[in-house]
C-alpha cells in the first residue's frame, strides 16, 4: 500500500510586513523560490526534474502573487521547465491544504515525488488586496451569501471577539497567552531549536523571525488599545468588551516554507530518511460568522479518522491567529497546554498567511524529532469558516 512520507522541510525566517521589514524589497516569487531551492539542496541526489509537481499555497493571489505564483516560483528556483506548479487557496490553510493534496496524490499513485509549499508577502501584497479593484472594495461574497447571513460576514478580528465572549476569556488571559508565545519562541531561538529548519535568504539581513519580542510582558500588552472596536458591531452582536488587540493577535508577515514528500518505498530506494508520514488529513466547514472555530470540529474529525484520542498526540501546532482561537480550542478539546505550540506560535513567530500551514508542519516535524514524540497534530482556522487538521507520525527510519 502506498503512503506519503516527509523527507525534508524548510522555511525562511519570518519577516515583519511593515516599513523597514527585511523582505520589503524581495518579490514574493523570489521568496518562494528560495524555499524551493533550499529544500532541494537538502535532499542528497535529488534532481529537480524528478519532481512531479509543486503545490503551493498563497492567499492574496493578486498583483505580484497572481498568475499561478507557485509555477513562477519553480521557474525562478531554476527547476526544469518540465516541472509543473499549481497554486491553491484555502485562505490561511492554503499550504496545509497543499500538504494534504501532495499526500493524497502520492497515495493515489499520481505522484512519486512532490513538493508542498507556500508563500505570502504581506508587505508587497497587503491583506485584503484581493477584494479591492481600482481602489474600491468589492462585494466578494455576493447577494446570495448576504441573504443567508443577514448583516453580512465579519472581519476575523470581530470573530475573535465573539469567540472570547462565548468562552468567557478575559483580556488578561488573552494577553497571558500572547506573552507566553513570545517567551517560548524567544527561548526556542536561544536554544537553537529553529536552526535546522530555517534557511536565511542570501543578501537579506534576517537570520531569525523578525516579530518575536523577547521582552513582551502582560503589563505591556495591557496598554494596547482594542484593534476592532466599532459601534456597529456592538449594535449587531451586543456587548463585546473589545479584548482583541494587536498584541494578542498574529502580526502581518512575509515568509515561505516547503516540504518534500515521497512514498516510503521511494525514500528507501533512494537512500532518503523518511522522517514522518502524513497519517491523516481532513478539512471541515463551520459557521462563517464565528469563522475561526472550525479547528474544534476539524480536530475531532481527524482524530476519529485516525483512530486516535487527544491523549495520543504528543505535540500540537495550532495556528495562533488570535489568542482566543487557541484558548477556545484548548477548552473544547482538553489538549494539554504544555504540548501546544511549545516553541511559540504565530503571535510571536508570525503568520505569513499562505506559508503558515507549511511553516507549522516544518515546526511540528522538528518538535517531534527533538522530543521523541510519535504523533503530531496541526490545525488551522481559515477565513470563511473552514479549517484543516493534519496528523503526522514520526518515523524512526
- Pairing between β-strand 136-137 and β-strand 132-133 as defined by DSSP bridges: antiparallel
C-alpha 331/C-alpha 55 separation (Å) is 34
Whether 381 is catalytic is: yes
Q: Angle between the 156-166 and 323-333 helix axes, to the nearest 10 degrees?
A: 40
Are the CB atoms for 321 and 381 separated by under 8 Å? yes
Are the CB atoms for 218 and 175 separated by under 8 Å? yes
Cell of 83: 516541472
Interior CA angle at 182 toward 383 and 319, to 5°?
25
C-alpha 59/C-alpha 383 separation (Å) is 10
Are the CB atoms for 93 and 283 separated by under 8 Å? yes
- The SS3 assignment for 56 reads strand
Cell of 229: 472596536
- The SS3 assignment for 75 reads helix
Active-site position among 92, 182, 279, 366: 92
Whether 351 is catalytic is: yes
Are the CB atoms for 249 and 174 separated by under 8 Å? no
- Pairing between β-strand 132-133 and β-strand 276-285 as defined by DSSP bridges: unpaired
User: Residue 29's beta-bridge partner residues?
Assistant: none
236: enclosing H helix or E strand: helix 231-237
Active-site position among 32, 182, 351, 366: 351
Interior CA angle at 86 toward 81 and 89, to 5°?
160
C-alpha 355/C-alpha 209 separation (Å) is 14
Active-site position among 34, 182, 366, 381: 381
Are the CB atoms for 296 and 332 separated by under 8 Å? yes
Q: What is the largest CA-CA distance in the chain?
A: 63
In the block, which residue shows the cell 491567529?
321
Whether 34 is catalytic is: no
C-alpha 184/C-alpha 339 separation (Å) is 12
* Beta carbons within 8 Å of 156's beta carbon, 6+ residues apart: 291, 292, 321, 322, 383
Residues in the chain: 397
The residues carrying an active-site annotation are 92, 351, 381
Amino acid at each position: 500500500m502506498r503512503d506519503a512520507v516527509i523527507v525534508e522541510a524548510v522555511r525562511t525566517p519570518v519577516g515583519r510586513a511593515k516599513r523597514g521589514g527585511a523582505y520589503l524589497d524581495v518579490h514574493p516569487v523570489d521568496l518562494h523560490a528560495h524555499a524551493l531551492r533550499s529544500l532541494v539542496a537538502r535532499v542528497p541526489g535529488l534532481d529537480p526534474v524528478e519532481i512531479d509537481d509543486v503545490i503551493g499555497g498563497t492567499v492574496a493571489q493578486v498583483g505580484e502573487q497572481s498568475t499561478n505564483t507557485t509555477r513562477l516560483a519553480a521557474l525562478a528556483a531554476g527547476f526544469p521547465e518540465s516541472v509543473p506548479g499549481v497554486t491553491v487557496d484555502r485562505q490561511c490553510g492554503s499550504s496545509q491544504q497543499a500538504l494534504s493534496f501532495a499526500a493524497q496524490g502520492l497515495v493515489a499513485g499520481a505522484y512519486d515525488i512532490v513538493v508542498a509549499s507556500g508563500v505570502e508577502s504581506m508587505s508587497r501584497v497587503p491583506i485584503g488586496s484581493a477584494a479591492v479593484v481600482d481602489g474600491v472594495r468589492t462585494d466578494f461574497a455576493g447577494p446570495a451569501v448576504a441573504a443567508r447571513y443577514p448583516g453580512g460576514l465579519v472581519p476575523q478580528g470581530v470573530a475573535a471577539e465573539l469567540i472570547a465572549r462565548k468562552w468567557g476569556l478575559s483580556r488578561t488571559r488573552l494577553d497571558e497567552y500572547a506573552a507566553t508565545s513570545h517567551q517560548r519562541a524567544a527561548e526556542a531561538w536561544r536554544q537553537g531549536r529553529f536552526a535546522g529548519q530555517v534557511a536565511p535568504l542570501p543578501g537579506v539581513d534576517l537570520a531569525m523571525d523578525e516579530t518575536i519580542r523577547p521582552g513582551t510582558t502582560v503589563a505591556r500588552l495591557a496598554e494596547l488599545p482594542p484593534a476592532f472596536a466599532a459601534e456597529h458591531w456592538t449594535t449587531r452582536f451586543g456587548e463585546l468588551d473589545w479584548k482583541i488587540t494587536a498584541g494578542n493577535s498574529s502580526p502581518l508577515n512575509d515568509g515561505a516554507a516547503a516540504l518534500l514528500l515521497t512514498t516510503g518505498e521511494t525514500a528507501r530506494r533512494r537512500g532518503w530518511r523518511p522522517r514522518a508520514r502524513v497519517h491523516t488529513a481532513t478539512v471541515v466547514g463551520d459557521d462563517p460568522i464565528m469563522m475561526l472555530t472550525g479547528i474544534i470540529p476539524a480536530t475531532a474529525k481527524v482524530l476519529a479518522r485516525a483512530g486516535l484520542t487527544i491523549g495520543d498526540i504528543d505535540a500540537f501546532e495550532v495556528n495562533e491567529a488570535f489568542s482566543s482561537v487557541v484558548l477556545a480550542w484548548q477548552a473544547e478539546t482538553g489538549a494539554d497546554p504544555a504540548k501546544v505550540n511549545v516553541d511559540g506560535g504565530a503571535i510571536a513567530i508570525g503568520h505569513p498567511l499562505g506559508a503558515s500551514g507549511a511553516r507549522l508542519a516544518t515546526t511540528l516535524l522538528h518538535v517531534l524529532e527533538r522530543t521523541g514524540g510519535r504523533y503530531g497534530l496541526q490545525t488551522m482556522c481559515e477565513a470563511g469558516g473552514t479549517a484543516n487538521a493534519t496528523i503526522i507520525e514520526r518515523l524512526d527510519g
